[in-house]
């Protein structure tokens, strides 16, 4: 039986939990906070905090769930109150990292009892939340499965250091470079302790040290997609009804979606749009700024900014756009790619988004090299000059996204673990 821990929960941990439960392999799930929508006390909370907590729903019987909520609840409260010194990256008493470490330590302490009460034979943990769990599991003779949702830190640091030199103005957006040496050593030891490594893309697998690829069982399991969404004849837009995209008078709307950083390649997209300079092309930037908006406007002023919003509204925004451009330098497998494809948007992406397998050239979009504004601009021009191709590409994008399901994601991990004769 497997004990899976994830301090906050997300789509891919939920999918795997469902797969483990169905296969009869789930012994325990440990997290910080788990709520039920029917809980009456949620109604008394501010709407934003209530919405945040409702993201911590898990479709599991209560008997499988163990929670350690105090630190995470305090972190959420500090975030809402603006006490940033408490949630400061890596060092804050209530930082995201401290929540991960707290759950990790709780799992490690409870492993002997979990073995006795739930017949645990393996632990499954995620990057930054696995160190103490894996140390205890090794002492107890348990299998150790490590989920690495983004490129291995050595590869990421190398690429980001190169970006600091290439586009120095964007250094302020490279938050990952703030990780302490202690945290980086912990990441290295987590990987060293793992028997099995789960990667969401070939890019993440390729980012691993050669010794890990050769000596550990590695599983590549692409994330699932949301259900396809059919675009209506008049897709809505923030400013009202929008005419069908194929009308010549409607600008080609290029969407960037994600944290507004150079890790996501935003500097290269801005440079590409400087090259494009077409009145029939409009850039829409959706995401969270990590620098003052004035910085982004200095780099490229001619974009429409869309602030973060609930997920359903994000999908509605996607339906008002034509193409997703994500020229990332470092990712794991950006979920936004498949979300956009499910809404009928073809892609312009780099291999480092983790979505290289999503591209059928000229059908679902185009693959461009990292750090190439010229290549991005060329493909933007292509879409603007071939508006008649868009409708067919929309359908190809939806079909490609639909091939990737969350159940297939979980099954790929289960199959990979079965090959290693994981004991149940």
Q: Please give the radius of gyration of the chain, using alpha carbons only, rounded to the nearest integer.
A: 22
Cα separations in angstroms, 246 against 285, 308, 323: 21, 27, 13
How far is it, in rounded angstroms, from Cα 65 to Cα 59? 10
* The pLDDT value given to residue 248: 54
Strands in 213-322 per DSSP E: 217-220, 236-237, 240-241, 252-257, 281-286, 303-306
Considering the entire predicted model, what is its pTM? Answer: 0.89
- Please tell me the predicted confidence (pLDDT) of residue 231: 60
Token couple for 289? 């700024």
Grouping H, G, I as helix, E, B as strand and the rest as coil, residue 229 is: coil
Question: How far is Cα 160 from Cα 175, in angstroms, rounded to an integer?
Answer: 10
Question: For residue 39, what are the contacts with CB-CB under 8 A and spacing of at least 6?
Answer: none
Query: What residue ranges define each of the domains in the chain, with the CATH number in brackets?
Result: 2-224+406-419 (3.40.50.2000), 236-402 (3.40.50.2000)
pLDDT for residue 242 = 45
Strand order in the sheet with 143-147: 65-67, 26-31, 2-5, 122-126, 143-147, 196-199, 217-220
Confidence at residue 109, expressed as pLDDT on a 0 to 100 scale: 96
Q: Which residues of the chain have pLDDT under 50?
A: 233-246, 422-424
């Amino acid at each position: 039986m497997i004990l899976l821990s994830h301090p906050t929960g997300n789509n891919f941990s939920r999918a795997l939990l469902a797969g483990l439960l169905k296969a009869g392999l789930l012994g325990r799930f440990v997290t910080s906070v788990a709520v039920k929508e029917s809980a009456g006390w949620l109604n008394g909370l501010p709407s934003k905090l209530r919405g945040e907590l409702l993201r911590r729903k898990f479709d599991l019987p209560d008997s499988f769930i163990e929670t350690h909520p105090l630190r995470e609840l305090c972190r959420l409260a500090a975030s809402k109150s603006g006490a940033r010194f408490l949630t400061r990256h890596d060092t804050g008493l209530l930082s995201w990292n401290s929540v991960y470490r707290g759950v990790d330590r709780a799992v490690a302490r409870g492993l002997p009892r979990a073995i006795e009460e739930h017949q645990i034979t393996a632990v499954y943990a995620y990057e930054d939340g696995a160190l103490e769990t894996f140390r205890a599991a090794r002492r107890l003779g348990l299998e150790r499965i490590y989920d690495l949702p983004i490129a291995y830190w050595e590869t990421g640091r190398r690429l980001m250091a190169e970006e600091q030199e290439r586009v120095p103005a964007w250094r302020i957006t490279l938050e990952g470079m703030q990780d302490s040496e202690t945290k980086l050593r912990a990441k290295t030891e987590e990987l060293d302790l793992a028997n099995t490594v789960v990667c969401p893309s070939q890019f993440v697998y390729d980012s691993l040290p050669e010794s890990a690829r050769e000596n550990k069982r590695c599983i590549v399991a692409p994330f699932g997609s949301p259900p396809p969404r059919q675009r209506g004849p008049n897709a809505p837009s923030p400013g009202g009804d929008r005419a069908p995209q194929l009308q010549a008078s409607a600008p080609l709307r290029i969407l960037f979606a994600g944290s507004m950083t150079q890790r996501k390649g935003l500097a290269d997209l801005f440079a590409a749009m400087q090259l494009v300079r077409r009145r029939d092309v409009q850039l829409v930037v959706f995401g969270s700024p990590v620098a003052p908006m004035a910085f982004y406007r200095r780099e490229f002023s001619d974009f429409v900014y869309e602030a973060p919003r609930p997920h359903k509204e994000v999908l509605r925004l996607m339906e008002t756009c034509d193409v997703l451009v994500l020229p990332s330098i470092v990712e794991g497998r950006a979920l936004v790619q498949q979300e956009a494809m499910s809404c009928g948007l073809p892609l312009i992406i780099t291999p480092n988004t983790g979505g290289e397998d999503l591209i059928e050239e000229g059908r679902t979009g185009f693959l461009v090299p990292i750090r190439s504004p010229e290549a991005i601009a060329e493909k933007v021009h292509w879409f603007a000059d071939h508006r008649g191709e868009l409708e067919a590409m929309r359908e190809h994008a939806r079909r490609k996204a639909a091939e990737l399901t969350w159940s297939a994601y979980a099954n790929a991990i289960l199959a990979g673990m079965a090959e290693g004769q994981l004991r149940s």
